[in-house]
Amino acid sequence: MRIPILTIFCLCCLTTSRGREPEWWQFLGPHGTNRTASDNLPLKWTDTEGIAWKTAIHGRGWSSPVIDGDRIWMTTSTPDGNQLFAVCVNKVTGKIIHDQKVFDVSNPQKISTANTYATPTPVVKENRVFIHFGTYGTACLDSTTAKILWTRRDLKCDHETNAGPASSPTIVGDHLVFHVDGRDVQYIIALSKTDGKTAWRTERSFDYSDVPVNQRKAYSTPGLVETSAGKQMISAAGQGIYAYDLKGQEIWRVRHKGWSIFPRPIGGKGLVFTIVDRDYPELWAIRDDGQGDITDTHVKWKVTRGMPARCTPLLINDLLYLVNREGIMTCLEAETGDEVWKQRLPGQYSATPIHTKDRIYLFNEDAHCTIIRPGRKFQKLAENSLTTQQLMATPAVDGDAFIVRTAGYLYRIEDGFQRKAEPENTNEFIGSWDIGRPESGGKPKFVMTLNADLSATKSHVPNATGQWKIVDGEARVVWSDGWRDIIRKEGDRYRKIAFGPGSDFDDAADNTDNAKKR
């Protein structure tokens, strides 16, 4: 087989053009700001052009991909939350290296389609990857072998029915630090990286006794910020914003009335910039040199309309850039909060914008990206789209490439590559498939049959008929009873992914199961 010389050259460049990247020890990258030193990220791509590889990832998960040398880590779960996984992909080839089941969960709390059981983003440090699933457990894995080194499953909280986990951990010195802000308990905790034992735990100082339980929770991530008083952990919680020293002692706090906050606080210009509240998000700028309760003395300015409930702000020189869920992008003066410009972008947004040397990349929830130039006037440079699919996780940057996670796939987007379209080989899927057969043996839940004439049947609903075809290398079945199924190859295995009546293939799955051809 002949391999184009350009492809060989480009693959070599993935491992030789840059040294080892800084370790991904916190949410939003090595610097925690979603800013990258790369000055050669792609300006144009499609679902095939500029794609080094595309890899199917099973289950549901919105954790962002994180870079660990030549590896990419993320988490995923079965749609019902009964099994939680850590997945590792080779960043050069896109091949899955590890698919490690970390936890079984017997009775997970119900969540809505607005979240997953694998939303918190992992972090990596010194050949270890730290996996966090909120109330369902925290684990440390060897990042080379995926061996589980330690776990903690005793740090429980009530995330609330139809909500679920979302807060990501941060590494601070020798500790893994994260929030436990539920309806029932509210604290910040540090675990030893070595063995997972508790190093310190600090309860939120706010008196929640008169606050409704649904207004006590939050989903933000501790942000390590260089302030005028030194490094502080800035922590957004229900009803309050807190600053802690690196040993977990509270330095200052600001009271507010919000809850369910997600965006990570950032700092600069002697200020902390933080989102307050989810349903009616506001941006507050707080002077970072306070002590104790500074609510009435240190809040420099507020913007109370049009702020993001999901995306973390970007601070570039003297300007703040924010995009809310509805696609309204706002540029503000960092010192005063005054509006510089406002612009509507296409679609809805959950992923935080990415800043490189002279560009801002904004990925919306349909895998469409708008690229603009930062500055005091809105200037659009380009727009690109993958095949329309759900994108909730903030992409990672690896050298001159994006690592983009969608609902079903992981992509490496990089100039100089052309991904070959998958051949429509129906023979791979024609036949009868056992769905949900236990690994230990026994009967499958049902049998799905894909026929050579592209019709389909399923044993548990004999009156339903189906039609199937190959799309992007997977078999997609549309049934007469309104259901839709995918049979997708994942490494050496196959998986059935089901979508209920009224759903499409790009929507969140209703359930998944293993599939094995007879």
Calpha distance 63→120 (Å, rounded) = 5
Residue 104 has pLDDT above 80, yes or no: yes
Residue 12 pLDDT exceeds 90: no
Measured CA angle at 190 (ends 142, 184), to 5 deg: 115
The DSSP H or E segment spanning 8 is helix 5-16
Instruction: Sketch the domain layout of the chain as residue ranges.
Output: 426-517
Stretch (H or E) spanning 130: strand 128-132
pLDDT of residue 428: 86
Which of 122-131, 243-252, 468-477 shows the lowest per-residue confidence on average (mean pLDDT)? Answer: 468-477
User: What value does the mean pLDDT take over residues 254-264?
Assistant: 95
Helix (H) or strand (E) holding 314: strand 314-316
- Count how many Cα atoms sit within 13 Å of the Cα of residue 250 in the half-sphere of its side chain: 19
CA distance 180 to 218: 8
Which pLDDT band, with edges at 50, 70 and 90, does 150 fall under? very high
**DSSP assignment of 150-179:** EEE--------TTT---PPPEEETTEEEEE
**What are 406-423's pLDDT values in tens digits?**
998 999 999 988 776 555
Return the ∠ at Cα 90 (arms to 87 and 93), rounded to 5°. 130
Residue 16 is predicted with a pLDDT of: 35
pLDDT mean over 106-111 = 93
Q: Which residue has the higher pLDDT, 489 or 393?
A: 393
Average of per-residue pLDDT across 53-64: 92
Contact between 178 and 139 (Cβ < 8 Å): no
* Residue ranges of E strands in 2-43: none
Q: Across the strands, what pairs with 294?
A: none
Please give the average per-residue pLDDT across 136-150, as a whole number.
Answer: 97
pLDDT of residue 1: 33
Q: Residue range 80-92: average pLDDT?
A: 95
Identify the bridge partners of residue 322 per DSSP, sorted by sequence position: 330
H/E element, 7: helix 5-16
- Lowest mean pLDDT across 170-184, 199-213, 241-255, 462-476: 462-476
List all residues 6 or more positions away from 338 whose beta carbon is below 8 Å from its beta carbon. 332
What pLDDT, on the 0 to 100 scale, is given for residue 291?
Answer: 96
Least confident of 24-28, 48-52, 244-248, 280-284: 24-28
The better pLDDT of the pair 219, 33 is held by 219
Q: Which of 71, 43, 7, 29 is nearest to 400 (CA)?
A: 43
Q: What is the mean pLDDT of residues 276-284?
A: 96
Contact between 368 and 346 under an 8 Å Cβ cutoff? The reply is yes
Tens-digit pLDDT profile for residues 362-386? 999 999 999 999 999 999 999 999 9
Q: Tell me which of 129-143, 232-246, 463-477 is least confident.
A: 463-477
**Overall size of the chain counted in residues:** 518
Maximum average pLDDT range among 24-33, 105-114, 420-429: 105-114
Among 18-22, 81-85, 95-99, 133-137, name the one with the lowest average pLDDT. 18-22
- pLDDT exceeds 60 at position 215: yes
Task: For residue 340, give the nearest of 356, 360, 320, 358 by alpha carbon.
Answer: 320
Q: For the chain, how far is it from start to end, CA to CA, in angstroms?
A: 31
Tens of pLDDT along 311-361?
999 999 999 999 999 999 999 999 999 999 999 999 999 999 999 989 999
Instruction: Return the pLDDT at 3.
Output: 34
Band of pLDDT at residue 34, cut at 50, 70 and 90: low
Residue 22 has pLDDT above 90, yes or no: no
d(CA 145, CA 128): 10
The chain-wide mean pLDDT, for the chain, equals 90
- Strands 431-435 and 339-344 turn out to be unpaired
Half-sphere exposure at residue 23, Cβ-oriented, CA atoms within 13 angstroms: 14
Return the pLDDT at 423. Answer: 56
pLDDT band, very low/low/confident/very high, at 491 (cuts 50, 70, 90): confident
Query: β-strands 446-450, 71-77: how paired?
Result: unpaired
| Angstrom distance (rounded) from CA 131 to CA 418 | 33
Helix or strand run (H / E) with residue 388: none
Q: Could you give the CA distance from residue 189 to residue 435 in angstroms, rounded to a whole number?
A: 42
Q: Does an H or E element contain 128, and which?
A: strand 128-132
pLDDT of residue 420: 64
Predicted pLDDT of residue 31: 72
State the average pLDDT over residues 151-158: 97
Q: What is the mean pLDDT of residues 261-282?
A: 95
DSSP states of 285-301: EEES---EE-TTTSEEE
Q: What is the pTM for the complete model shown?
A: 0.81
